[in-house]
Structure 1
Amino acid sequence: MTTPVVTLREITAETVRTICDLEPHEAQKGFVAPNAVSIAQAHFNPAAVFRAIYADEEPVGFIMWRPEGDGANCFLWRFMIDRRHQGKGYGREAIALWLKGLPALGYRIARLSYLPGAAGPHGFYRAQGFEDTGEQRANGERVMELLL
């Protein structure tokens, strides 16, 4: 059995409902907005880029990012892998694929924020190489970054 190939694909009129139906485990829902909300927010932020995460031909998640600050930083705004597809390495592959493309776009640092909590993503992001900056936002989110 071959390992599925993970890709980041544009969301189309034909795929948007399927992507909006993807959701994390119940315990994770407080850590990431629903994909429908993220897609709506992206449409009102011209700098935002969002993609569906596929494993071969199956949609398994969602990723969204935007430039930050002077344009040398890229901010991972949203990231989620559907509850039925977690633990298969798709998240790790999707983040690696996203990070690999950033330097060609002029980014030198990838940043993100997360809400601390038992079912939160902190450990996952640390495993991908992100480090805590010590910065905490007013909404309680903590910031991590990775030099590219």
Structure 2
Amino acid sequence: MPEPTLQLVTSDNVEAACAIRLLPHQDAHVESVAVSLALAYTLPTKAWPRLVHDRSALVAVVMAFHRVDWPGDPSGVTRSGLWRLNVDAQHQHQGYGRFAVLAVCADLLERGERTCFVTYDAGEDGPENFYLKLGFRPTGEFSGRQVVAGLKL
């Protein structure tokens, strides 16, 4: 079975990317792909959006951030990590989310980072268990109402 691959977002595939849909209860926990891509467009040196394909099927969109000032941190510390992960509802629980997170971690490691950060909604319907299973650990910080977690690379 072939491995999933990452592809750049282009004018040829952006509409397909925006068609990615989550399960209904997940919509409250992550922005749409369209919002993520619009944000990436405004921060081209900080945002890292990629499409996850398996064979010819687009299965997910992942976006990382690199060296972003952390909200609410007056020290000027910058962090890098996973910003958004949207795995299409019909392709969830097949390893694509894990693949996307590991790809982000590999990219950050190549850029000299030693920790990958993520924020998420805690609770039953949120992605907390997914991130904990991958080894992320809460830092004790919050970004708004979201938990901040880190994974040592």
TM-score (norm 1): 0.91
Correspondence for 1:11: 9
Correspondence for 1:144: 149
Correspondence for 2:127: 121
Superposed CA RMSD in Å reads: 1.4
Find 1:29's aligned residue among 23, 27, 30: 27
Measure how far apart 1:36 and its partner are. Answer: 0.4
What secondary structure is seen at the aligned counterpart in 2 of 1:74?
strand
Measure how far apart 1:101 and its partner are. Answer: 2.5
Quick one: distance in 2 between partners of 1:32 and 1:8?
A: 20
Indicate conservation of the 8 Å contact 1:7/1:94, yes or no: no
* Structure 1 alignment gaps of length 5 or more: none
Correspondence for 1:54: 53
Q: Deviations over 1:47-83 (max 9, x none)?
A: 1111111112211011111123555x31211111000
* Structure 2 alignment gaps of length 5 or more: 70-76
Measure how far apart 1:134 and its partner are. Answer: 1.0
TM-score (norm 2): 0.88
What secondary structure is seen at the aligned counterpart in 1 of 2:6?
strand
Which residue identity lines up with residue 147 of structure 1 in the other structure?
K
Which residue identity lines up with residue 143 of structure 1 in the other structure?
V
